[in-house]
Structures are given as structure tokens and as C-alpha cells.
Amino acid sequence: MLEKDELILNYIDSELESVSSTVNSKLTKKGIKLNTRLELNEIKKQIDNFIDEKYANRFIVMPGLRGVGKTTVLYQTYEYLFKEKNIPLNNILYISCDELNDIAECSIRELVEIYLKNKFNKNIRTLNEKVFLLIDEAQYDKNWAVSNKIIFDKSDHIFMIITGSSAIHLQYNADAARRLKRRILTPLNYNQHLKLKYNKSFTNLSRSLYELLFTGNIENAVEYEFESNKTLTNIVEYNSNEWDYYLKYGGFPTFDEEKPLADIHEEIVTMTNKIITEDIMQIRTITSKNQAIAKRIIRQLALQNPGEISQHKLSSYLKTSLSNINNILDLLEKTELIFHCEPFGGSSRRLKKAWKYYFASSSIRHALSTKVGNTMKNSDEYEGILIENLVASNLFNLSNTQIDSFNIYYDPNKEKNVDFVIQDNFENPIPIEVGRGKKKKGQIKNAMNRYDSQYGIVVANNKKTIKKVGDVIFIPPRTFSFL
């Protein structure tokens, strides 16, 4: 029987020999190179700084849901190092911890020590040339944060990119958190979707929409919306159905392929099942019975209109305790498959009122509700629900990726309530109303008066482009999805 070190070394040798051909096949489709996520530009900048011996974030952690493209980003980083920066293949180690876990029980630190000893005749402290570690699915090593913190501290010659499920958020320790640069890979907004599909970026529109949200100034957003619409018109392959496709099937580059829509549905459903049966287990071990309950909770969320969910009714319906329902909802949130909005108001109101839950992307909701039988007969009403989920998920993702985060609430008012209220620090709250058709101003004006807001935002089809009518800003859903 082979010794552990020999097993690991054989695995390392195999990866070093085969990964370049694997990368080439994974990054091309029908002989055409795949486009890249915008996050790759940031990684390239840090790599360039590291190579040039300038200050660099050389410990990058990229958590994210299944299917958002984490492995592809690592492959594209590998290709950049090898083909554009001329880094020797021996100095680039790509490892998937789930595969490593199948071979032997081995920490990332042990792996790196074996790699350096056998390929450079050095250890972490004595290494004197630049090495790049691309570690995928790091959550399979429960102590990855400690391992990589030690590697970071002992050598200035190692650049690390670590990816994993959302579970790795929970495995940071304080020391590691101070050293790493976290870059969450979220489901794609429409700008990122178009970047991957057509290699066209509309970052200026995305930034100007963020400015619009928190200042009420529409001037820049109007200008970049006009430019973006003009650019899209000049893309021969682009058609009017693209946004509808994005709303119902987009968000995940893994599924953005030319295949039957039913197959995409099935892949998204399979992905959500794996999150429940595999990714949750990286956070906390749960029984098969609770896995079944988690799937039923997800089904209920997919079938009902967005609204406060009664944990008491779920407890009764699923014949389990209230504490178990709350624990499972908490676990589902930690995987980032779903997230919640609390009611706007003081702490006492947030304790008394139920929470609203949304899916990480509108395409997840669409796939799940289609799978279990969508009960809504009105297509406009159903599309309005998908748009509300899209707005919620875009705001949630934005709040988690911006340096200056903000809070997202729902409006708990019983009459003439709007869908969302956002607030940056202690600034005046900004009400947002969402809908499929043309929305009247009554609800938004009522909320603005209640919250003493300087302006309100309506995301609906009232206008074909961004318009400000008095103190109400109208944004078409397609434009908002660039945010």
C-alpha cells in the first residue's frame, strides 16, 4: 500500500501534467474562447502587482453558490499565468479539495509542503521563487483558513486564490480574515450576463445606477442607459428575447448554453438539491429527514407570492418543531440559496414581524416553481413576482459586494405598502416599488410621505427609459437589472 505522502505526490504530479489540457478544453466552446467575468480583471491586476513586487492582495478568497463560475475563473487565471505571464507550469498548482479528499485525508498545508519539497526542494519558509496556488472547493478542508494563514505568514513568494461554497464564510478566523481579500462571486446581473455572452461590458451604467439609488441624480444613468441601448441594438446576435431569457434562465454561466430550456430547469433544480444534500453538510450535519424538510420549505417558497413566511404554519404543515424550521431556514440562508428581508422600523417591530424570503436569483425561483407546478394563471402576475425577486437579489448581492454596504427591508405597512425600503447608514430611507405592468404613483407617494423620503423609485414598465417625474424615479426592469 502506498504511503500517504506518495499518494498525494502522485496526485500533484497528475494535476501538473494534465491541468493545462483540461483548462484548454474547459475554456473553449465550439473552438471559441469563453468570455470572462469582470472579477478576473481584478485578479489579473493583483497578479501583475505580485510579479512586479508591488503591493498585492496575494490571499484572495472567492466564495459563491454552485454554478456561478468559480472553477472557470480559476482555469482562466491559470491560463493567464501560463500564456500571458510566462509562469512555468511547475510553479502553478491547481487543486480541487473534493478530489484530494477522495484520495487521502490531507490539509492544504500538508499538500503545499509536499509540493514544495518535491518540486523545489524547499519548504514554505525557504521558498525563494514565486509560486501560485489555485485551490478549488476549499470547504472540504475544515481548517483551510488556518492552513492558508500560516502559508501566507511564512512566505512572501506564494500567491493564493481560494474558492469554495458559501460555507467557507463560516470557516474564517479573525487572523485569517485580516490577511485575506474576500471577493464573493454572486449570480450574474444583466451586465455580467451580457459580458459573458457577447463580451460587451456596461460597467458605467451599473455604476451610475448605484449613484442614482442613493442620490436621486439620474443624469449619468440616463446618459449611460442611452449608450447601452445603442450598443445592444448594434449587436447582431442580440434580440428582444434576451432579457426574458436572463430573467427566467440566467444568473448562472454554467447554464448559459444552447440547450433545451427544460434541461436548464432540470440542472438548476439538481443544483439546489445538491446545495441541500451536500453544501449544507459542510456547515452542519443534518439528518435525511431534515434534508427532505429543507426541500419542502424551498418548494413552498417557490410556490407562494413573496411575503412574510409564517414559521408557525410551516411547522404545522411539515409536522416538525418551530425551532427546527428556524434552524433549517438559517442553514438555507448560510448556503446563500435564499436570503431574507426584515421589516423596516425599530428593533421591536423587526422582532415581532415575520421575514420575507427570496431566492438567490429569479432563475432559481422560476425553475423550482415550474418543476413543482406553477399555480398562477396570470402570466403578468407571475412575471411581476420574478421581477420582484430579481430586484431583491440584485440589491442583496450589491449590498454584499460594495465597500459601503446598505440595508434592505420590506415595507410592513398594511395598506399602500411598497416592496422594498433601502437605507444607507442613518440616511433617509428610500422606498422602491416593483411591478410587471404600469404602476401608479399612489403607493410610492404614500411611502415617501410615511418615511419622509426625498424621492422614491418605481421599477416597472411605466417608461421605456429612466425618467424622473417630480420626486419619483421610474426605471424599466431591464435597465435596473444592470445594477
Q: Is the Cβ–Cβ distance between 461 and 438 less than 8 Å? A: yes
Look at strands 338-343 and 356-359 and give their pairing: antiparallel
pLDDT at 373: 64
Say whether both 107 and 14 belong to one domain.
yes
**Residue 431 sits in which domain range?**
191-480
Out of 185, 217, 238, a domain closes at 185
Q: What is the CATH number of the domain that holds 13?
A: 3.40.50.300
pLDDT at 403: 64
Out of 185, 217, 250, a domain closes at 185
Number of domains in the chain: 2
Neighbours of 102 (CB within 10 A): 10
Distance CA 328, CA 317 (A): 15
Residues 6+ apart with CB under 8 A from 275: 65, 66, 165, 335, 337
- Cell, residue 348: 421591536
Residues 6+ apart with CB under 8 A from 83: none
**Which residues partner with 135 through β-bridges?**
95, 162
Residue tagged 442613493 (cell numbers): 214
Q: Is the Cβ–Cβ distance between 84 and 40 less than 8 Å? A: no
Phi and psi at residue 308, in whole multiples of 5°? Answer: -60, 130
Return per-residue pLDDT of the chain as tens, 483 residues. 468 888 888 888 888 888 888 888 888 887 788 888 889 999 999 999 999 999 989 999 999 998 899 999 999 999 999 999 999 999 999 999 888 878 878 889 999 999 999 999 999 999 999 999 999 998 888 888 888 889 999 999 999 999 988 777 666 666 677 788 888 899 999 999 999 999 999 999 999 999 999 999 999 999 999 999 999 999 988 888 899 999 999 898 876 667 788 888 899 999 999 999 988 888 888 899 999 999 999 998 888 877 667 788 888 888 889 899 999 999 999 888 999 999 998 765 555 678 899 999 999 999 998 877 665 557 788 888 999 999 999 999 998 877 667 899 999 988 888 999 999 877 789 999 998 777 778 889 999 999 999 999 999 988 899 999 999 999 999 999 999
Q: Is the Cβ–Cβ distance between 446 and 416 less than 8 Å? A: yes
pLDDT at 279: 87
Distance CA 340, CA 407 (A): 11
Q: Is the Cβ–Cβ distance between 337 and 298 less than 8 Å? A: yes
Residues 6+ apart with CB under 8 A from 474: 458, 460, 462, 463, 466, 467, 468
Task: Give the angle 51-60-362 at the CA atoms, nearest 5°.
Answer: 130
Say whether both 30 and 62 belong to one domain.
yes
- Cell, residue 437: 405592468
- Cell, residue 388: 420582484
Say whether both 140 and 208 belong to one domain.
no
Say whether both 98 and 204 belong to one domain.
no
Look at strands 92-96 and 181-182 and give their pairing: unpaired
Say whether both 176 and 251 belong to one domain.
no
Say whether both 328 and 452 belong to one domain.
yes
Distance CA 322, CA 337 (A): 21
Say whether both 308 and 167 belong to one domain.
no
What one-letter code names the amino acid at 59?
Answer: F
* pTM of the predicted protein model: 0.91
Say whether both 52 and 90 belong to one domain.
yes
pLDDT at 477: 96
Out of 136, 153, 185, a domain closes at 185
Say whether both 323 and 278 belong to one domain.
yes
Say whether both 212 and 232 belong to one domain.
yes
Distance CA 99, CA 25 (A): 19
Say whether both 164 and 212 belong to one domain.
no
Say whether both 60 and 174 belong to one domain.
yes
Residues 6+ apart with CB under 8 A from 385: 305, 306, 365, 376
